[in-house]
Structures are given as C-alpha cells and as structure tokens.
C-alpha cells in the first residue's frame, strides 16, 4: 500500500532569522510526524518533544484499528454482542462521542462504524478485497447510530459494526500534541502529521508560519500559504493510500457509506478549521461530497477555508483562500469559487 508521507511541505524553516526554530521528526500513526517550535530555548523544546513522542506512541497503541490495543479489544468484545454490553475504555470515549457527532453533522458520509467493510476492502493490511464479505456487509451497512452508549457501556445493534478511527484519530492525536506543547510553555509551533497540520502563533515576530499544499497528481508544492492565525489544515486524498485490485482497478481507502464502495470522483480535499479533530473528519467527509453540495457541507462541518480537487482536475476553492494562496504549480482549469 502506497503512503505518500509529506502531503504538505513545510517551507521556509531553514531561512536565517533571529528566532531559532527547533524541530523533531519521528514515525508514528504510520506516518512522519514533524514538529517545529519557536520562541523557546532548545532545552524546553527537547523536553516537550520527548513528552510528545511518548504520548503519540501510547495513543497509536490504544487507537490502532487492527493491532492489539484498546480499540481492537473493544471491537472484538462488541462483535460478540453480549446482552450486558461492553465497558467503554476511557481512551476511546472522546473518539466515539466525536464520531457520533460528525456522523450526524456530515449526513452519514463520515462513518467510522465501517471498520469491518474497510478491512474487507483490503485497507487493514491485506490489500485485496474479500468480495463475499463485502457483499454481506453491504446488505446491512453499520452506522454510528447502531452503537448505543449508556452509563459508559456500549451495545452494537449491527453484527458488522467495527470501529475504525483512521479518519479522525490523527486529528485527536494532533490536538493532544498541541495541548501538550502549550503545557510545556510553547505557544508558537507547527505540528505536521504526514501533511495534516496544527499551526499556532508565528515563526518569529516578523514572520508568519508558511505552509505548502502538495500537488495531488504529481507531488511537489502546488501552493503556499502564510498562516494569518491559528488553525488546523488537514488533507484527505485518494492518492495517499490505495492498491490495484485483481481486475486492475485503482482502489483508494475512503469508502462511500451510500454504496459501500471506495470513492472515485475526488482527488484531494484540504481544509482549514479551528479544531484538528473536526478538520480530520471534515476532510474525509468532503472526499465524498458532490460539488453541488459543497457550500452546504462546508457550513455544516464549520470549515473556514477549503480547496477541493477532482480526479478530472476540476477544482473548487473558498473565497478566503482564493485571495491568499500563492500558486507555484497548476493542475487544470482555474479553480471555481465555492458559494457566494
């Protein structure tokens, strides 16, 4: 399974300025985590980086969709559908609550209850579809509403329900990383988790943080953006994780809950929101949104800015980014404005 690591390039960090930028890179959540901080000395930065590495290693174990940990054990217990329900591990509570919320807000497009179907398509390590299982699950597609929570216990009303937080866990990990950096007295930083970013403060007194958006067709920078303030910039794409199936079709990892099939029309979605958890969920839901429905969905998901690029190279852009993105490459026809 291919996984393009750096979706958004971090630009300008090497530029010589008064304020030093401290940086740490490590692998976690199946991707490269790259943290840059400024406004503090090296000792404080290194202590914070150590704490972040520890936290993310723990979260990855707890939230992994198919390796042993809190989520795998919870899914296995749920699948047995015990009448007394299954205790909800504290490490999963927020992911479950937020997933239920974004499931509703996205009108069902964001649906982390589809883990078993995602695995059947070959996106939990196998890389080939199990057609018979896919057909059985498609007869009765699970939803987040099939998961009932009462007094910290959970019941599943659908035997195929299995949680996969691949579209939201990185958002929460990034949010918790930002909180931890703040606790360490760091107020100026970029957390970059394989192209999903949380940006706070400034690079220096006279320089904003500058980020890049990758060209989803041929890599390299598509555009750069000087961040005007804090925010989470998240990207979902069909080019990041995919395989070629036995019929030679390209199958990417985002499943359309209306059909049970991998989505086919959108190449990439990049969004700016305040909250990284909401940004992660929104980017995934917008990968499944028809262009006519973009204005409504952006509003429902509280997206501040967005760039949507279709497989046929047509693109749509929100008014704020239309004025502020600096293009360094082009992909096709001029992006159309979203709404307004």
Residue 47 three-state SS = helix
Is 167 one of the binding residues for Mg ion (CB under 5 A)?
Answer: yes
Binding partner of residue 52 among ligand ADP, Mg ion, none, CB cut-off 5 to 8 Å per kind:
none
Residue 148 three-state SS = strand
Cα 157 to Cα 73, 179, 216: the distances in Å are: 18, 35, 39
Strand segments (E) across 15-135: 21-28, 31-38, 86-87
Nearer residue to ligand ADP within complex by CB, 69 or 166:
166
Nearer residue to ligand ADP within complex by CB, 38 or 289:
289
Q: Near Mg ion by CB under 5 A, which window of 13-21, 55-63, 114-122, 276-284?
A: 276-284
Cα 129 to Cα 76, 87, 135, 287: the distances in Å are: 21, 32, 11, 21
Q: Which positions lie near ligand ADP, rule CB under 6 A?
A: 110-112, 114, 118, 123, 164, 166-167, 170, 236, 240-241, 253-255, 257, 280, 283-284
Nearer residue to ligand ADP within complex by CB, 186 or 190:
190
Binding partner of residue 78 among Mg ion, ligand ADP, none, CB cut-off 5 to 8 Å per kind:
none
Is 70 one of the binding residues for Mg ion (CB under 5 A)?
Answer: no
Give the number of residues in contact with Mg ion, rule: CB under 5 A.
4
Nearer residue to Mg ion within complex by CB, 186 or 211:
211
Residue 268: CB minimum distance to ligand ADP, A: 10
Whole-number Å distance between alpha carbons of 281 and 304? 14
Of 180, 235, 146, whose CA–CA distance to 59 is shortest? 180
Residue 77: CB minimum distance to Mg ion, A: 26
Q: Closest-CB residue for ligand ADP? A: 166
Residue 255: CB minimum distance to Mg ion, A: 12
Cα torsion at 64, 65, 66, 71 (round to 10°)?
Answer: 70
Of 105, 20, 85, 45, whose CA–CA distance to 277 is shortest? 105
Is 280 one of the binding residues for Mg ion (CB under 5 A)?
Answer: yes
Nearer residue to ligand ADP within complex by CB, 98 or 305:
98
Nearer residue to ligand ADP within complex by CB, 203 or 214:
214
Nearer residue to Mg ion within complex by CB, 283 or 294:
283
Is 284 one of the binding residues for Mg ion (CB under 5 A)?
Answer: yes
Of 218, 175, 207, whose CA–CA distance to 193 is shortest? 175
Q: Which residue's structure tokens are 């046929």?
A: 312
Is 137 one of the binding residues for Mg ion (CB under 5 A)?
Answer: no
Whole-number Å distance between alpha carbons of 7 and 278? 19
Whole-number Å distance between alpha carbons of 117 and 33? 28
Binding site for Mg ion (CB under 5 A): 167, 280, 283-284
């Amino acid at each position: 399974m291919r996984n393009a690591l750096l979706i958004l390039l971090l630009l300008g960090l090497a530029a010589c300025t008064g304020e030093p930028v401290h940086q740490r890179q490590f692998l976690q959540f199946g991707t490269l985590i790259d943290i840059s901080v400024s406004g503090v000395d090296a000792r404080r930065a290194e202590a914070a980086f150590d704490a972040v590495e520890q936290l993310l290693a723990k979260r990855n174990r707890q939230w992994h969709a198919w390796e042993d940990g809190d989520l795998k054990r919870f899914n296995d217990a749920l699948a047995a559908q015990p009448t007394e329900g299954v205790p909800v591990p504290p490490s999963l509570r927020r992911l479950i609550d937020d997933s239920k919320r974004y499931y509703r807000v996205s009108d069902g497009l964001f649906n982390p209850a589809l883990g078993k179907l995602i695995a059947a398509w070959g996106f939990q390590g196998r890389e080939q579809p199990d057609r018979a299982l896919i057909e059985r699950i498609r007869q009765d597609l699970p939803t987040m509403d099939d998961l009932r929570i009462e007094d910290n216990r959970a019941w599943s009303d659908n035997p195929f329900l299995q949680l996969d937080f691949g579209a939201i866990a990185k958002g929460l990990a990034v949010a918790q990383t930002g909180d931890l950096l703040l606790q360490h007295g760091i107020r100026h930083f970029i957390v970059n988790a394989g192209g999903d970013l949380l940006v706070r403060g400034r690079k220096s007194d006279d320089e904003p943080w500058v980020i890049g958006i990758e060209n989803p067709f041929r890599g390299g920078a598509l555009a750069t953006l000087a961040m005007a303030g804090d925010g989470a910039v998240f990207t979902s794409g069909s080019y990041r994780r995919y395989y070629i199936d036995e019929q030679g079709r390209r199958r990417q990892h985002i499943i359309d809950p209306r059909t049970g099939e991998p989505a086919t029309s959108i190449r990439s979605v990049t969004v700016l929101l305040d909250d990284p958890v909401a940004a992660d969920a929104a980017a995934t839901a917008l990968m499944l949104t028809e262009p006519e429905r973009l204005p409504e969905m952006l509003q429902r998901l509280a997206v501040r800015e967005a760039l949507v690029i279709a497989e046929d190279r047509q693109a749509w852009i929100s008014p704020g980014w239309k004025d502020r993105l600096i293009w360094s490459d082009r992909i096709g026809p001029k992006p159309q404005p979203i709404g307004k």
